[in-house]
Structure 1
Amino acid sequence: MSTRPAKESERNQEATVYIGNIDENADDELICELMIQAGPLVSVHLPKDRVNQIHQGFGFAEYLNERDAEYAALIMNGVRLYGKALRVNKALLDKQKAIDVGADLYIGNLDSMVDERVLADTFSAFGNFVSQPKVARDADTGAPKGYGFVSFDSFEASDRALESMNGQYLMNKPLVINYAYKRDGKGERHGDEAERLLAAQAQKNNYKLPSQFSQQQQQQQQQQQQQLQQPPLQQLQPPPVQPPFSIPQGQIPQQYPPQHPIPQFGNMKLVRGPNGMIQSTTPLATAAAVAAAGAPPVFPVVPPPFISRATNFDHR
């Protein structure tokens, strides 16, 4: 895996993902450690400023195949790095999805502190980019010239950005925004009726632009989150434990062992004590009568005789 800057023509676009909203504290090695969790990498490239050699807040990760790139876009989008949520999506899905509809804006009166990262963070709220925002720079010194370009994937997004940001202050300077001039040199600007008609026809013919892919990607992420939030399968729960035996209701005796009737003899009153023993309430009950009743005899308790302390037991 390499971190050298790969040329656009050398990179496999179908196996490459775009990584946006990268914090300034992150470097190439950290992005490599993060993105390699989705699959083997071929290269990672974070474009850097020519003057201060600080990355511009976005980069590209090329995988061995398209499947790993799609998986990386699915699981890495929204991951927070230094408190900032990364924006990860496929750089180019196929040749049809790379169509530039012409929604290109000219951003003028830029402050010298505004770079590509600031432009991307400012205008990403209005829609998806076809290519990364660019700041025009001097070829020799690399100093910014005070203007740049932002290319959206739809005229709806570029119209929203134009209406919302034209005249707004960025780094204490009001922005001057208009549709950029076409490259044919005829002095015509993008956003005319012909381009809008071609863009509408392309969407009608089911050309999947990056914005449509972004919606599909969000739906897949929502489905994945719903699957993770589903309760565990019922078959994984242990069955209830049944007792080894059960006694039917009403068959349990109130007293165990069962109590037999106490026989009575003449004037002698026999009762069952709290400990289950049969005893007589008649003080003079004889042992023979109690034994005849089938219970051990119970004799009345006789208190010990009172012995005075003055009694002399010395028989000397």
Structure 2
Amino acid sequence: MQCQLWMGSLEPNMTESFIMAAFHRMGQRPLAVKVMRNKFTGEPAGYAFVHFQTDEESIDAMHKLNGKPIPGTFPVVRFRLNTASREARANMQTEREFSVWVGDLSPDVDDYSLYRVFAAKYNSIKTAKVILDSSGYTKGYGFVRFGNEEEQRNALYAMNGYTGLGSKPLKICTAVPKPKGAVTTPSSTPTTASATYSSGTGDQGAAAATQAPPVADAAQVAAAKAQSDELALVEHKRTIDVDLMNSEFLNPELSLWDSLEASQWFPHEVVEVH
């Protein structure tokens, strides 16, 4: 039960067998799929849990498939996957985050290719995510999350300008978690993303290592966290006081006419000239 993924954005006609077949067509072999249902109506709740043999298989599937079209869907529905075990969720909420923002990603870069490049150099990689727009196309940037701060700091310099992933050199800077209650503003790239660092040795290398790393703004991290599994309930029932609203609307108008009458002012069209 620990080796499982949460799968969201499901259509009502997506059954367990349909989802299982979709994973098989994408080269994955989950053990079981459980579509969750509303306990009152019995209707599909729009999400499911997909169980794998090992945690490694589930994480591998998540990075390979996230954002890719689900076979057999039209209009196209894309895989939306996340870790599902309680332990994984608890760890993600309590442990410190060591993440980097990765910019200048070309359209051919997906979660898995981003994950493979960083995982080949760093052992503590937790997740890699390319941010997509509402149509499923890449926005040109993503995030890589580390379990070790030292590796994250090393990646800021060693991976900045890296070539071999997509068609452009990578831009790397620190990703800072969004403070709770902060207001986000739209932004496609952090203002410090263009900063470059020396990879020299000796005094030059030491000087480069002491520079403050660039920081991605909170809006970028908010975009990554937009893949949240929980859905907030929106209150649609609102009591409307019609009398109060009418009163608020009419009072300024009545006050104007009362003032005009008190001033004994009349429009010149109705004043009789003798």
Q: Which structure has the higher relative contact order (CA within 8 Å, separation 6+)?
A: 2
Structure with greater helix percent: 2
Q: TM-score range by the shorter chain?
A: 0.3 to 0.5
Point out the structure with max Rg over C-alpha: 1
TM-score, scaled to structure 2 = 0.39
TM-score, scaled to structure 1 = 0.34
